[in-house]
Structure 1
Amino acid sequence: MTTAVGISNFILTRYPPVLSSAYALAFGTGGIGLFAALAGDRITVSAIPLLGIVTVTLWADLLIMRVIDDIRDQDYDRVADPQRPVASGAVQLRDLSALTAACVTIIVAANLFFQAGLVVIVGQLLYAAAVLVVGQRFPATRGDNLVLKVLIGFPVQLLLYVYLFAAFIEIQHEVPNAYVCASGILILTLCAGQLEFGKKLARRPAVGERSYTNSLGYLTTLLLTIGTGPLAVALFVVAAQVSPLSKALVALPAIGVVAYGIKYLSGTDNRWPAAVSALGLLGTLVAFAVVGAVG
């Protein structure tokens, strides 16, 4: 199997181009729009070139993170999900190394004239590489303890949020107060939490399954899945300097997730559909982007 075939198989099955591109666009524009709303500013048309740089950077960066996650999880996946490309051997590690090198090249080239952002992303990539190395040496850091795993991986997400804040500064040409940065990062972290917990929520996990239900308990995991979104919205409503209509728009996706959560709690389905959390997150990010543009 050629390198091109292996890489194509990996991207198509583990990082679908259309969905991943839509998420990168929503993540970038939504995150920057959130900071704008918190600062009482608006993102204008002149910001489009930098928004394009941010979107390309996030797309390539998140693809690298997918590669790292699949390499870290390959032993578990050989048992739990053997059809995945790395676990099945459909893609070789040398192919993923070539893919990662290409993504790093794209990131560096895209951010040549956005040096503050480049510094943050390089730091994030170095940390992610260190996590991969440590995981190979100490399997407990990549094993069944999902709480430990998410804590170790959190700086990866945190630095992406810092990158978006740096992009907002670049667009506005001024540094907002620390409150805007801290509240924006907290809101983005809570928004991401609904997907992180939702994709590993089951009433009765399978034997050997990595599930937050095993680590935190079913009810706690369910509350985190359906509660982090509304909490993020509540913080946004209090902190954002936008119209009541804009705040209502941001609240809609979280309300939808909570409504489905009530239905799920009263039913008998075993597994929480990760797509519900993914749509809730995507909808909130899109709302942030709209609000950041219109105020």
Structure 2
Amino acid sequence: MTTVAAPHVPARLGRFVLRMFRPQIYVTYGLLWVLALEGVAVTATGAAWRPSGATAIRVVSVVLALLFLRMLDEQKDLDHDRVHHPDRPLVTGAITAGELRGAMAVITVGVTGLNAVRSVTDVLLIVAALGYGLLLAPLERRFPAVGDRPLLGLAVAYPVQLLLGVYVYGSLVAAGTVTADWRAAALLALCACVVLHFEFARKTAWEAPPGARLYSTGLGPGRAAAVTAGFAAGAVVCEVLLFAPRGPLALLPCLAALLPAHGTRRFLAAGRGAWPLPTAIAFVVATYLASAVLAVLLP
């Protein structure tokens, strides 16, 4: 067992975060996701929206929850990483499981305290997301197929993202900002399609490197590409449902679909290599950013 002096722990955790939870990616994603979800939820009802102090709490809570889940994944995937990713921090001893668990406890206390300022509903919703994440490790130990079969693993793990989306929307409902209706389902489906397009894109390739857990291995590259493109198309359908009543200008976020269309064409035309991931990343950024900006600009 590795023992680390307490004064060194913050620096070790900082290095872990900078390497495995790159702020320029994860913080940007969490920020844009919350702004887009909140902004669309409000403006879809015809009301005006501006970010507020409550928005900041939701952003910080989601980003910290994503960090919590990343720390959890590092521990959950340790056996796989020992074989296929021997340079990972937990494998090399750059961080210990005890340090990660301690940080996760601090995060739990932090997000609970933040959301207690808002409402009990907010606390319950964010804790539910973290709690579901904690269930994944024992579930994979009890049922190894969950970790070994990528599609099954995705079906079991994705509800964490859904619960974080429910937290943001539920927080708005608890505050009386919006009234829950059918638009909640369309909005959560939009977020699901956006993130699942990226998720499939990053694990779709014509060839599978040793140890890679790709969706294209089970589905085949062609079908995996169809599913990846299908999620982007699903996002557009949801955008039309949510934005069309506000007029033609409100459909501008749909133009982001040109990015996955280009990515799909490139992948199929190449016949080798991996999905052009920059197009999938740009689709997430463009969709969420355009949605958030539009929510501010719409009267």
State how 1:116-195 maps to structure 2 within 5 Å.
Answer: 116-143=121-148, 145-170=149-174, 172-177=176-181, 179-195=182-198
1:233-270 deviations in Å (ceiling 9; x for gaps): 1221133232312212x122221221132123212441
Superposed displacement of residue 106, structure 1: 1.9
Aligned equivalent of 1:20? 26
Aligned equivalent of 1:58? 62
Aligned equivalent of 2:9? 3
Please say if 1:41 is aligned against 2:55.
no
CA contact (8 A) 1:3 1:95 kept: yes
Superposed displacement of residue 107, structure 1: 0.6
Q: What is the letter of the counterpart of residue 59 of structure 2? A: T
User: Partners of 1:293 and 1:172 in 2: how far apart?
Assistant: 19
Q: What is the letter of the counterpart of residue 140 of structure 1? A: A
User: C-alpha root-mean-square deviation of aligned residues, in Å?
Assistant: 1.9
User: Partners of 1:129 and 1:12 in 2: how far apart?
Assistant: 23
Aligned equivalent of 1:231? 234
User: Partners of 1:174 and 1:257 in 2: how far apart?
Assistant: 31
Superposed displacement of residue 121, structure 1: 0.9
The higher relative CO (CA closer than 8 Å, separation ≥ 6) is in: 1
TM-aligned CA distance change 1:173 to 1:253, over 3 Å = closer
Q: What is the letter of the counterpart of residue 18 of structure 1? A: Q
SS for the counterpart of 2:116 is coil
Structure 2 stretches lacking a partner, 5+ long:
none
User: Partners of 1:213 and 1:19 in 2: how far apart?
Assistant: 25
CA contact (8 A) 1:53 1:110 kept: yes
Aligned equivalent of 2:207? 204
SS for the counterpart of 1:91 is coil
Structure 1 stretches lacking a partner, 5+ long:
none
Q: What TM-score comes out, normalization by structure 1 length? A: 0.91
CA contact (8 A) 2:194 2:232 kept: yes
State how 1:242-281 maps to structure 2 within 5 Å.
Answer: 242-248=246-252, 250-281=253-284
Q: What is the letter of the counterpart of residue 17 of structure 1? A: P
Superposed displacement of residue 172, structure 1: 4.9
CA contact (8 A) 1:190 1:228 kept: yes
User: Partners of 1:64 and 1:195 in 2: how far apart?
Assistant: 21
Identity among equivalent positions (%) equals 24
CA contact (8 A) 1:50 1:171 kept: no
Deviates more, 1:271-280 or 1:47-56: 271-280
Superposed displacement of residue 170, structure 1: 4.6
Equivalent of 1:95, from 83, 99, 108? 99
Q: What is the letter of the counterpart of residue 34 of structure 2? A: G
CA contact (8 A) 2:32 2:285 kept: yes
Q: What TM-score comes out, normalization by structure 2 length? A: 0.90
Deviates more, 1:53-62 or 1:106-115: 106-115
Equivalent of 2:35, from 5, 29, 33? 29
CA contact (8 A) 1:187 1:236 kept: yes
CA contact (8 A) 1:233 1:254 kept: yes
TM-aligned CA distance change 1:84 to 1:253, over 3 Å = farther
